[in-house]
Structure 1
C-alpha cells in the first residue's frame, strides 16, 4: 500500500505542468470571509505551490521534497511538514488553505492543528476541482470510464492509500465541533489545453503513476483509448471549464 505523503513524489515537474491553476477569485472570496484584505496564509499540502502562489507571502507546508523543490524554484516559501503536524506556532494565520489535498489528510489530527494555528475568526478554505474539465462530451464520458477502471486496478494492485471522500468534507468539518460556521460554494475557472494535456491530466493522478510503475500498461488502464478519443475530439487547443468546490470553515 502506498503512502499518501509520497504518492506524488518523483513526478513533481510533470504534475506542475499539467495541473490547473486555482482561480484567482479564491483570494477575494477567502479574504472577505476572513475579514482582512492582507491575511497571513498557510497552505497545507502545498505540493508544487499552485495554490500557495495565489497569495503574496503565504507559507506552504509539504512533506514531499520533490514537490518542495519545484515550489522553491518559483520563489515560494514551502516548509517540510504535514497537515497533521505543521511545526508552525499557535495563532499564526488568518487563513489556512488546502488545495486538492484535504482528502489525503487525517481529519482527527488535521482539524485540531488547523484550529491551533488559526487566529480567532480565521478561515480554513479547502478547495478541489471536479475531474475532468468540461471540454467535450465524449472526452468527458471516456475519462470517467477510464478513471473508474484505474480505481479498480489501484485496489487490485494495492497502490491506493486511505483517503476521505471529498463529498463528506463539509460534514466532517461540522462534526469536528471546531468551527463556528461551515459552508460550501462553487467557483468556475477557464483554462486552455489540447488533447495530450487532457490525457496527461489523468496520467498525473498518483494512482495512474503507481500502476504504470508496477508495469500495468496504458492499454490496461485505458489511457490508450482516452488518447484516441481526445485526439479525435480535440484536434487543436480548446477552452476548458473547471468547477471548483470550496469549503469555508470559520473558527
Structure 2
C-alpha cells in the first residue's frame, strides 16, 4: 500500500478489501438521473468527469457515453482492480480510466474537471481537505456532487428490519473486538451539505432527493445486506459468529420472494456545490 496522506485512515481503505466481486455483483449502479441532473446544471457535455472513491466503477462507467473523458479514483487496490478488469473486458469504454489516489491529494491538474462526484464515498473522507482539493481541480462553474442511497432499500418492513438487525449486529461485533486504531471511521452523511456550505468553495449548494426503482430477486436482496462493509468485516475475521444470523436472514428473504423478481426502491440524497 502506498503512503497514506494526512487526513486519511488506512482502516477506511482496507475496510473494502477482499470482497470486490460481492460488492460489484449486488450493489446498485449509479442511476442515469445523476447524469441528467448534473449535465443539466453544467449546461454542456462535460469534458472531464472525476469520480472519487469510485470502488469497482459502478458510478464511473455510467458516464462513458456522456463525457469526453472519465477518471475513477480509488485507493483500495482490490476495488480498483475489479474496475480495471471490467474496463479490460469492454473496449467501448476507451474514454474511461482508473487511477490510485486519495480524495485530498489528487494527481490531477488544477481547473481540469467539469464534474467531480463521490458516490457512496464522501462519508469515508476528511471533508475539509477533500473539498479544498475538489475545488482545486474543478473549473469555474464546475460541479461537485456527493450522493448516497439509504440502506436498506424499500420493499417490506419486516425484511428491512431484519436487514438492519443484521448490519447493526455486525457493527456491534466490530466495536467489541477490534482495536480502536483498526476501526473504520464513517462521517455523518447528514453533515454533507453543511460541510459544502462551510467550505467556502461553492457559490451555490443544494440537496436533491430522488428515487430509483430496480428489479431484485432474493439472491440480490440478501447480497445487498451481505455486501455491507460491516458484515464483510466480520466475515473476514473468520470466526463464524455471524453465520447463523446471515442464514436466518437469507431464509427470511427467500420466504418473502418465493422465487419472484420484485421491484425495490432506492432513495438517494445528492448534495451538490457549484464552484
TM range (shorter): over 0.9
Pick aligned residue for 2:132 from 112, 120, 134: 112
In 1, are the aligned partners of 2:235 and 2:242 still within 8 Å (CA)? no
5+ residue gaps, structure 2 = 1-8, 88-95
1:171 equivalent to 2:194? Answer yes
Pick aligned residue for 2:268 from 235, 238, 244: 244
Quote the RMSD (CA, aligned, Å): 1.7
Taking the aligned partners of 1:183 and 1:8, their CA distance within structure 2 comes to: 29
Matched residue of 2:44: which SS?
Answer: coil
Instruction: Kindly state the Cα deviation for residue 148 of structure 1 after the two structures are TM-superposed.
Output: 2.1
Taking the aligned partners of 2:241 and 2:34, their CA distance within structure 1 comes to: 36
Q: Which moved more, 1:56-65 or 1:110-119?
A: 56-65
In 1, are the aligned partners of 2:212 and 2:265 still within 8 Å (CA)? yes
Q: For residues 34-183 of structure 1, what are the structure 2 equivalents within 5 Å?
A: 34-56=42-64, 57-75=69-87, 76-158=96-178, 160-183=183-206
Instruction: Kindly state the Cα deviation for residue 229 of structure 1 after the two structures are TM-superposed.
Output: 1.4
Taking the aligned partners of 2:257 and 2:241, their CA distance within structure 1 comes to: 20
Matched residue of 1:25: which SS?
Answer: helix
Q: Which residue of 1 aligns with 2:30?
A: 22
Instruction: Kindly state the Cα deviation for residue 39 of structure 1 after the two structures are TM-superposed.
Output: 4.1
Pick aligned residue for 2:20 from 12, 18, 28: 12
Alpha-carbon displacement from aligned partner over 1:134-177 (angstroms, at most 9, x marks no partner): 12221112112222222222211225311211111111111111
Q: Which residue of 1 aligns with 2:39?
A: 31
In 2, are the aligned partners of 1:18 and 1:197 still within 8 Å (CA)? yes
Instruction: Kindly state the Cα deviation for residue 107 of structure 1 after the two structures are TM-superposed.
Output: 0.9
Instruction: Kindly state the Cα deviation for residue 224 of structure 1 after the two structures are TM-superposed.
Output: 2.5
Return the TM-score normalized by structure 1: 0.94
Structure 1 pair 166/116, CA: closer, same or farther in 2 (3 Å)?
A: same
In 1, are the aligned partners of 2:216 and 2:262 still within 8 Å (CA)? yes
Taking the aligned partners of 2:174 and 2:225, their CA distance within structure 1 comes to: 14
In 2, are the aligned partners of 1:14 and 1:204 still within 8 Å (CA)? yes
Taking the aligned partners of 1:207 and 1:142, their CA distance within structure 2 comes to: 15
In 2, are the aligned partners of 1:71 and 1:77 still within 8 Å (CA)? no
Taking the aligned partners of 1:240 and 1:19, their CA distance within structure 2 comes to: 13
In 2, are the aligned partners of 1:146 and 1:221 still within 8 Å (CA)? no
Taking the aligned partners of 1:227 and 1:201, their CA distance within structure 2 comes to: 11
In 2, are the aligned partners of 1:184 and 1:247 still within 8 Å (CA)? yes
Alpha-carbon displacement from aligned partner over 1:6-51 (angstroms, at most 9, x marks no partner): 2111121211011111110110101112232334200000111111
Structure 1 pair 108/136, CA: closer, same or farther in 2 (3 Å)?
A: same
In 1, are the aligned partners of 2:74 and 2:98 still within 8 Å (CA)? yes
Instruction: Kindly state the Cα deviation for residue 181 of structure 1 after the two structures are TM-superposed.
Output: 1.2
Taking the aligned partners of 2:153 and 2:166, their CA distance within structure 1 comes to: 15
Pick aligned residue for 1:192 from 210, 215, 222: 215
Matched residue of 1:209: which SS?
Answer: helix
Instruction: Kindly state the Cα deviation for residue 221 of structure 1 after the two structures are TM-superposed.
Output: 7.6
Instruction: Kindly state the Cα deviation for residue 196 of structure 1 after the two structures are TM-superposed.
Output: 2.2
Q: Which residue of 1 aligns with 2:91?
A: none
